[in-house]
Structure 1
Amino acid sequence: MPPQVLQRVSVRWLPEPAFEDTDTIALNVGGYFLDLRIVKADGSVQWSRAGQRKVVKQEPFTYQWTRIIDSTGILDPDEAAWDWQKLGNGDAFESGIAKCPLKNGALTSYEEIWRDVTRAGPTPNSWILQSADGRTFLSCIGATFLGMRSDPDGGFDVKRSEWDSKQKAWSIKFEGGHVAGIPGANAVFSIATGGWTVGATVALGSVEYVVKAFETTPDLVAIE
């Protein structure tokens, strides 16, 4: 799959009806991902995580997400089946079993619908970086930038920015926690190059990052 920004349309804990009470996005590049879920009612972080994503089964097509950092502190891997054809409108249908927060954590079958909302931005390059200490992840796909950090004291920090094509600038859409420890989109783009390769080390100030995923997609460049 090419790099994607996905937005969750709905979640359903069977047999209850589907709903959506969060602004949830996931950024996928290569075998890595970042996932941010913001509660619409109060703007708090419901869940945020980053890690590796891989295919573990072809029939049904099944992903496994291995969490490297997670705002809940739980690092157990997740698995779920994905179907891009079932709904017939381009949206993805995810199904699996997970602990339901509405049922005191009881294991419950669930369904989620995801939509590709990738927008063109200032660069054709999509990437995911991880700090050398393993605690910070940064990613950009098209017009979406996302950074998150797991603090040593147990806190969790998140920063999301979106590219404004009219202003030709990044604008902050969400910040939570001690965001001073997360480089902004402008700082990262000041050193980002098309020459990055997976496994390479790049420096942002005094912090070193490892390029975990990198892909170039010409269609992601906005036409001025």
Structure 2
Amino acid sequence: MTEPTVFLTWTALWTIGFLVALRAIPVQSAAHLGSGAAVVCIVLGVAGLAAVSASTWLGADAAPVTRPLRAWLTACAPAVAGLGWSVVLSGRAGHAPPGGAVRQATARALAWYVGLAFLGFEVGKAAHDTEMREFFLVSGLPLALMYTVMLAESLAALALLCGWRRTAAAGLLGVIMLGAIGTHLHNGDAAADSADAVRMLVLCGALLALGRAPARTTLRPARA
């Protein structure tokens, strides 16, 4: 199985698991679960940013620590995505009013996670400017587009972290990830090269869905 396929499979399994949990526990407990998830996502996001920064600036000296840490963080990504999509799909979200505690906490958790992840990506891209330039040139894309994308990703990441226009920021990042996946496919690159883009696309999709007001359940009047 390719890396993106493994991620999607585990995301589906985590989504099912969280759906079962959300339906089994009381609403108040679900709200606490959402708040706890926000803290966990922030910790994971900060750890990921720290790992990328250490790898970038310390190089091989940090490898004994950063490699297993980044592998563990990658393994955690399906759980984060599964949490987001479980809240989107859960019937509980339909019972709560738009902007309910569970939905808000989950959206905040994913926003911090995705925002910190993209800041890490930008640190890595800036440190490997030559390789990034070569990739864009080989792909037949102008270098101006590379820096435009980096700027757009940075601004969108900051918007997610600040809670400003989160839905729009997630949508912009999702479109960029679609472009990245399409470019890798066009180049015939290995599936693993698209793994980060696939992960972020799924997470941005969950953020977009969480940003929409949940549908209200309309009760039909009983017939006499």
Bin of the TM-score, shorter chain as denominator length: under 0.3
Q: Which has the higher strand share?
A: 1
Greater relative contact order (CA < 8 Å, ≥ 6 in sequence):
2
TM-score of the two chains, using structure 2 as the length reference: 0.23
Q: Which has the higher helix share?
A: 2
Task: Work out which of the two has the higher radius of gyration on C-alpha atoms and give 1 or 2.
Answer: 2
